[in-house]
Amino acid sequence: MSALTRSAQVRVAAALALMAGAGCALNPPAGATATASPARREITAGVVQRGVHPGMSGADVVELLGSPNIVTRGADGGEVWVWDRVSSDRFSAEESGSIAGVVVGTGASVTGGVGGQGSVRHARTTSTQSTLTVVVRFDEAARVTTVSLHASSF
């Protein structure tokens, strides 16, 4: 009879190990969501640095960057075009887990058991805001003379 008791103890221990492994669940960032505000046209510092250069026509600049937000005249009489973009990004992730277990003990004449279950939940959200300001100056012949940009992220 003690061999049967030992066999039952081994089966219970194996079942506990399986429940502990299956009972712990972690939801990966598959349920995570990221949202970004829509942009009128994709303008990045790299696009500006690669694409806009002195001598370029205003039509080519508009084709690359889209219409500017502001058009003014500089002190030298040439036009100054300004693009101002703001982007807000938000990332949310949620992790949850649960654990269940059973402890079974046997004694000389007493058999007993204790069970329990619990769960843990953790949520994290981060937000960033980025700005990009591009200033393109033109001469009287409507050709690019200078390009400057300022980017920030907070």
Instruction: Note whether 85 and 39 are within 8 A (CB).
Output: yes
- The overall average pLDDT reported for the chain is 76
Residue 96, pLDDT > 90, answer no
- The closest alpha carbon to 83, from 97, 64, 99, belongs to 64
Decide if pLDDT at 143 tops 80.
yes
Task: Tell me the mean pLDDT in the region 111-132.
Answer: 76
The fraction of the chain above a pLDDT of 70, given in percent, is: 59
Hey, CA dihedral for 126, 134, 55, 57, is it positive or negative?
Answer: positive
How far is the C-alpha of 85 from the C-alpha of 152, rounded, in Å?
11
**Predicted pLDDT at 45:** 93
Whether pLDDT at 154 is above 70: yes
Q: Which residues are registered as beta bridge partners of 131? A: 86, 152
* Amino acid identity, position 19: M
- pLDDT of 70 higher than 90: yes
pTM score: 0.54
Joined together, the tokens standing for residue 80 give 């100054």
Calculate the CA dihedral of residues 147, 134, 140, 142 and round it to 10 degrees: 90
Average pLDDT over residues 126-135: 93
**Which pLDDT score is estimated for 87?**
86
pLDDT score of 89: 85
* pLDDT tier, 19 (very low <50, low <70, confident <90, very high otherwise): very low
Provide the 3-class DSSP secondary structure of residue 55.
Answer: coil
Give the H/E segment covering residue 8: helix 2-23
Contact assessment for residue 125 and residue 91, using Cβ atoms and an 8 Å cutoff: yes
